[in-house]
Amino acid sequence: MGTLRHLEGGRRGIVLSGALVWAMLTWALPAAAQAAAEDLRAQVLELALTEGFQVSGLDLIDDAPPRKLRAKGLARRISALLSDYNYLLLHDRKGGVRELWILEPKPTATAVVGRYAVGTTRRGRHHLVETALVGPNGRRQDMALVLDTGATTIVLPQEMIELLGFQDKDLRDGWSRTVGGRIPVKLGKLKTVKVGHALAKDVAVAFFAEEDAGMELSLLGMSFLEHFRLTIEDAKDQIILMAK
């Protein structure tokens, strides 16, 4: 799936990539430290170095003590280390972990007001979420969207413009930079977007022409997700949305 970045922003924290991640990991974890990481942050760094994946958001990890790892399998070991954090795993074509994004600490157990658990359907490594979209004139369409924290808005194909009741006055021209280059898009706002019982109003949406995009065109992006604290529970095939 192509990565959409037509607005600046996105995830917080330090991003380490390419040669830089290996230089910093090697500097941060000399042989003695690799044998016994002194804190959780160093333990995550050690795992990234050992298993060969990139990591971002390390600055979000508190000065917590290291944890004992009894789980087998890389995904379960990461889950055990980061049980107190929201994070996202990106996989390569062979299913291996390519990147780890640490998003934020999980909210405390007392913050339960506005907490919504929503089941997902898997398409490979991606989560599809049933979503109710209401256009500016009240016309509703239900469809499954791919959860994508790298997309700054909800993304839909241009054929949805008419189905959602958008008129010319409801849209403006814009541009988006994708892996295929800079392409024209139509930008507007959905009256409401609902996932399970989680509802957001006036949600930005970008409509792409299918022949231009070269990417997935049904994305649940940050213009909806930014209203909530997001937890992705891969093992349970569900997401948790908690109102901010």
H or E element that contains 147:
strand 140-147
pLDDT tens digit sequence for 188-216: 999 999 999 899 999 999 998 876 555 66
pLDDT tens digit sequence for 105-140: 876 544 445 788 999 999 888 899 999 999 999 999
Q: What is the tally of helices (H) and strands (E) in the chain?
A: 7, 14
- What domains appear along the chain, each with residue ranges and CATH number? 18-105 (no CATH), 115-243 (2.40.70.10)
Pick from 198, 204, 192, 183: nearest CA to 230: 198
Q: And the tokens for 118? A: 């929503």
Model pTM greater than 0.95? no
Mapped onto helix, strand or coil, the DSSP state of residue 162 is helix
